[in-house]
Structure 1
Amino acid sequence: MESVTAVGRTVVPAREARAARLAAGQRVSVVDLEGGQVGDVFAFAAEDVTEHLSAAHTRAATNRLFPAMGEPFVTDRRRPILTLVSDTSPGWHDMLIAACDPARYAGLGATASHPSCADNLRRALAAMGLSVPFTPQPLNVFMRIPVGEDGRLSWLPAVSRSGDAITFEAAMDCVLVVSACPQDLVGINGGEPTSLAIDVSAPN
Structure 2
Amino acid sequence: MDKSGQQDKVCVIPARKGVAARVRKGQIVTVINTHGSQVVDTWAFCANDVTEFMSMEHSRGAMLKLNPKVGDTLRSNRRRPMLTVVEDTSGGVHDTLIAACDRYRYEQLGHAGHHDNCTDNLAAALSVLGLAPPETPSPLNLFMNIPVGEQGSISFEAPVSEPGSHVSLLAEMDIVVAFSACPQDLVPVNGAACVPTDAHYRIDDGAPRI
User: Equivalent residue for 1:198?
Assistant: 201
The whole-number CA distance in structure 2 between the counterparts of 1:112 and 1:79 is 40
The whole-number CA distance in structure 2 between the counterparts of 1:27 and 1:55 is 20
User: Equivalent residue for 1:188?
Assistant: 189
The whole-number CA distance in structure 1 between the counterparts of 2:106 and 2:36 is 23
Distance 1:5 1:185, change over 3 A: farther
Deviation at 1:5, TM superposition (A): 7.4
Deviation at 1:203, TM superposition (A): 3.5
Gaps of 5+ in 2: none
Deviations along 1:82-140, whole A, 9 cap, x unmatched?
01100001111000000000000111111331000000000000011000231000000
The whole-number CA distance in structure 2 between the counterparts of 1:136 and 1:7 is 30
CA-based RMSD: 1.2
The whole-number CA distance in structure 1 between the counterparts of 2:124 and 2:59 is 26
Deviations along 1:137-176, whole A, 9 cap, x unmatched?
0000000000001111011011211101001000000000
Gaps of 5+ in 1: none
The whole-number CA distance in structure 1 between the counterparts of 2:45 and 2:59 is 14
Percent sequence identity is: 47
Deviation at 1:68, TM superposition (A): 2.7
Q: In the alignment, is the contact (CA less than 8 A) between 2:145 and 2:189 conserved in 1? A: yes
In the alignment, residue 200 of structure 1 is paired with which amino acid? I
Q: In the alignment, is the contact (CA less than 8 A) between 2:27 and 2:171 conserved in 1? A: yes
Q: Indicate the SS of the match to 1:136.
A: coil
Q: In the alignment, is the contact (CA less than 8 A) between 1:53 and 1:73 conserved in 2? A: yes
Q: Indicate the SS of the match to 1:77.
A: coil
Q: In the alignment, is the contact (CA less than 8 A) between 1:73 and 1:81 conserved in 2? A: yes
Deviation at 1:52, TM superposition (A): 0.3
The number of residue pairs the alignment matches comes to: 201
For residues 20-169 of structure 1, what are the structure 2 equivalents within 5 Å? 20-169=21-170
Q: In the alignment, is the contact (CA less than 8 A) between 1:13 and 1:196 conserved in 2? A: yes
The whole-number CA distance in structure 2 between the counterparts of 1:72 and 1:22 is 16
User: Equivalent residue for 2:179?
Assistant: 178
TM-score (normalised: structure 1): 0.95
Q: Indicate the SS of the match to 2:185.
A: coil
Q: In the alignment, is the contact (CA less than 8 A) between 1:89 and 1:166 conserved in 2? A: yes
Deviation at 1:202, TM superposition (A): 1.3
